[in-house]
Chains A and B, each alone.
Chain A
Amino acid sequence: QKEVEQNSGPLSVPEGAIASLNCTYSDRGSQSFFWYRQYSGKSPELIMSIYSNGDKEDGRFTAQLNKASQYVSLLIRDSQPSDSATYLCAVLYSSASKIIFGSGTRLSIRP
């Protein structure tokens, strides 16, 4: 089992719809979770951090965390073409004290 697992996509969503990105992780002791956005040829940009079970909202973005299910998701409301990018899920592994990244999900917003 991969330490942090994401569907590679591509995920195609119409403009204005909700994009839902999912991530599972294997370390039950993990406490810190991050979502990054990466445009082609650029470095990853941190867009959300979440540390507690439940939802955390920031503008059009909502991160959801369920530690019992070892599952974290990112919802993007009112998707825009500029949201087209690869989204990376990252988990701070308590056992190794390092951040583990998933391979990313490629999101495409179609006009």
Chain B
Amino acid sequence: ETGVTQSPTHLIKTRGQQVTLRCSSQSGHNTVSWYQQALGQGPQFIFQYYREEENGRGNFPPRFSGLQFPNYSSELNVNALELDDSALYLCASSVDGSNQPQHFGDGTRLSIL
């Protein structure tokens, strides 16, 4: 059974650019949740995708958007990057829109210069 996989591992961007992060869910899981973890903080919930639609959103601006595909994989898109977007972005998968428990992928470390 494969776990959650994320790509890329690391990414460096400059302010104002756009970025796309990818996540493949664990086998049998149809729900994907995205989190942002800034240095020294716990993960912050960005949003969840279930049945290819957004199924709950945290306190993040609209420039954070996502997609889920028929194979349950997901993308996180961030437009107009800001320095504060530098963080570890984590993806977790689950079943049927649930939130428990969350098993994370290895994450994508995004650095904004």
Taking Cβ atoms with an 8 Å cutoff, the residues of A that contact B are 4, 8, 32, 34, 42-46, 49, 88, 90, 92, 96-104
| Chain B neighbourhood of A90, CB < 8 A | 42, 102
* B92 nearest CB across to chain A (Å): 9
Known: A44-B90, A97-B56, A98-B45. A49 touches B104 (CB 8 A): no
User: How far does the alpha carbon of A102 sit from the alpha carbon of B48 in the complex, in Å?
Assistant: 19
- Contact among A32, A42, A100, A101 for B106, CB-based, below 8 A: A42
User: How far does the alpha carbon of A32 sit from the alpha carbon of B102 in the complex, in Å?
Assistant: 12
Asked if B66 lies at the interface with its beta carbon under 8 angstroms from chain A, I say no
Interface size class of B (residues with CB under 8 A): 20 to 34
The total of interchain contacts (Cβ-Cβ below 8 angstroms) comes to: 51
Asked if B20 lies at the interface with its beta carbon under 8 angstroms from chain A, I say no
| Chain B neighbourhood of A88, CB < 8 A | 42-43
- Chain B contact residues, majority secondary structure: loop
| Chain A neighbourhood of B105, CB < 8 A | 43
* A87 nearest CB across to chain B (Å): 10
| Chain A neighbourhood of B41, CB < 8 A | 103-104
- Chain A contact residues, majority secondary structure: strand
Known: A88-B42, A98-B56. A44 touches B104 (CB 8 A): yes
B40, A103: Cβ atoms closer than 8 Å? yes
Docked complex: B29-83 residues within 8 A CB-CB of A: 40-45, 48, 56, 58
* B105 nearest CB across to chain A (Å): 6
Known: A43-B104, A98-B58. A92 touches B99 (CB 8 A): yes
* A37 nearest CB across to chain B (Å): 12
Docked complex: B94-113 residues within 8 A CB-CB of A: 99-107
B88, A46: Cβ atoms closer than 8 Å? no
